[in-house]
Amino acid sequence: MNKVIRPIHYLGSKLRVLEVIVKQIDKISEKKLKVLDLFSGSTVVSQALADSGHQVTSNDVMGYSQSFAIATLGIGRCLENDILEKVRATLFTEYKNNKLHSFFNDIIELESSCIANQNGLELLNLIESGPKIWSKQVRNQSLLTAYKNLKTLEGFTAFETPILVTSFYGGTYFGYKQATEIDNLRFTIEKCANAGTISPWAKSAALTALLSAASLAAFTPGKHFAQYHKVTGKIDTKFHEKRILADRKVNILDEFNKALKIIFSRKNDGNHVALNFSMEELSQNLGEGSFDVIYADPPYTAQQYSRFYHIPEVINSYEVPKLQIIKGEVTSGLYGIDRFKSRFSSKKEAPEAFKDLASLALSKNADLLLSYSGNINGNSGNGRMITLEELTSILESFFQSVEVIQLDLLYRQFNSNALAVNDRGDREYMIHCKIC
């Protein structure tokens, strides 16, 4: 049996309720279906559907999600013998030959001695004192010149000056050693893909493995990238000392290797597709074909995924971000300015966005299966951009039949133990809209 992979810690991932989603889709027809997973995120739903024999089109506005989908659905994969060993050998030979990071040798040495001596406090101090492209304290002239070169590439890829991750996020989100390893691997993956020594599928597999390693190393609450742990002004830093020691010890190369092996071990079958469009752009880019079902798991809160996962996006594209500046300072999360703003994460815009989603499903002659998560205080809590009642009333104006299913109840029909769904207190629903 294939194991579904969640490549990075992902807010709202449907990993815990995959079985119910797949069973609901299986109930629609005896046949295997053409399914569009429109907001695929970590791609766990796309994988589970593909593993049950459905033909999946996975889409998300975030570019990393497309890399995950290509990798985990095996899109363009050729099943050569020993391919994992060949790809590993190619990547690691190239990796060892790259000498990209002499700028950071001193700080890496200092950091490594802090880790060896279990000195979490000094590692916390490096957050403030270490070199950063956005800090005014950098004295080293050659590093300043490298930073300047990098800034001229804003909006473009940084493969000419591959110190992007270290310059922007070294010492904060990642340790310096970790960040240089991420840069070096990212550079290596691109170089091998351009030279044709690894296939496009292997490139996505390697990117997915790299993002997986980066997600494990992140010194952040919840392993997302909204902001790194802040310790300035804290009297008791014990928790953060322990945390930073544990996170900085994560070995990027080892984790990359482990993740690569897991991705390569997935068995792939079927003719799947991975897209990278916003829902708003999708209708012009889907062509004439129809779908049997659109599965939709859009955001329901004000949290913009482009803010929580801006660093995976930067690593995936390797484009130099233009940092947002407020009152002369970079933001606490080091966000770039050109981030996608989802209408689903705005109370004002969400109702229209859901109407567009319903129209898209109708235009594709597809049933719409929506996931909805309400909070523990009921489904109309303030945290949600739209209430379940508002949403169903919109959907009823488009579809002949709209059925709301509470997931923990449904889960009980399939499993004797319903706790897996409800253990965090959120209420999960599925809304099945049928065209006839």
Ligand X SMILES: C[S@@+](CC[C@H](N)C(=O)[O-])C[C@H]1O[C@@H](n2cnc3c(N)ncnc32)[C@H](O)[C@@H]1O
* Interface residue list for ligand X (CB under 6 A): 10, 12-14, 39-42, 44-45, 60-62, 65, 278-280, 297-299, 305, 342, 344
Residue 176 or 295 with smaller CB distance to ligand X: 295
What's the closest the beta carbon of residue 306 comes to ligand X, in angstroms? 7
Phi, psi of 178 (to 5 degrees): -60, -45
What's the closest the beta carbon of residue 15 comes to ligand X, in angstroms? 7
Residue nearest to ligand X (CB): 41
By residue count, the chain amounts to: 436
- Are 19 and 407 a contacting pair, CB within 8 Å? no
What's the closest the beta carbon of residue 350 comes to ligand X, in angstroms? 10
What's the closest the beta carbon of residue 269 comes to ligand X, in angstroms? 21
What's the closest the beta carbon of residue 120 comes to ligand X, in angstroms? 32
Residue 167 or 373 with smaller CB distance to ligand X: 373
Contacts 24+ apart (CB under 8 A), 165-169: 165/311, 165/314, 165/315, 166/101, 166/104, 167/132, 167/133, 168/132, 168/133, 168/134, 168/314, 168/321, 168/323, 168/334, 169/311, 169/334
Q: Copy the structure tokens of residue 262.
A: 């897991």
- Are 214 and 10 a contacting pair, CB within 8 Å? no
Q: What whole-number distance in Å separates Cα of residue 382 and Cα of residue 288?
A: 39
Residue 62 or 323 with smaller CB distance to ligand X: 62
Residue 190 or 426 with smaller CB distance to ligand X: 426
Fill in the DSSP letter of residue 223. Answer: G
What's the closest the beta carbon of residue 68 comes to ligand X, in angstroms? 9
Q: Copy the structure tokens of residue 321.
A: 């971000």
Maximum alpha-carbon separation in the chain: 69
Residue 10 or 104 with smaller CB distance to ligand X: 10
Residue 43 or 172 with smaller CB distance to ligand X: 43
- Are 211 and 218 a contacting pair, CB within 8 Å? no
Q: Copy the structure tokens of residue 69.
A: 């989908």
H-helix or E-strand spanning residue 92: helix 83-97
Residue 151 or 223 with smaller CB distance to ligand X: 223
From the list 80, 78, 34, the residue with the least C-alpha distance to 273 is 34
Q: Copy the structure tokens of residue 247.
A: 């996170």
- Are 35 and 295 a contacting pair, CB within 8 Å? yes
What's the closest the beta carbon of residue 46 comes to ligand X, in angstroms? 8
What's the closest the beta carbon of residue 281 comes to ligand X, in angstroms? 8
The crossing angle, in degrees rounded to 10, of helices 105-116 and 176-195 is 120
Residue 280 or 390 with smaller CB distance to ligand X: 280
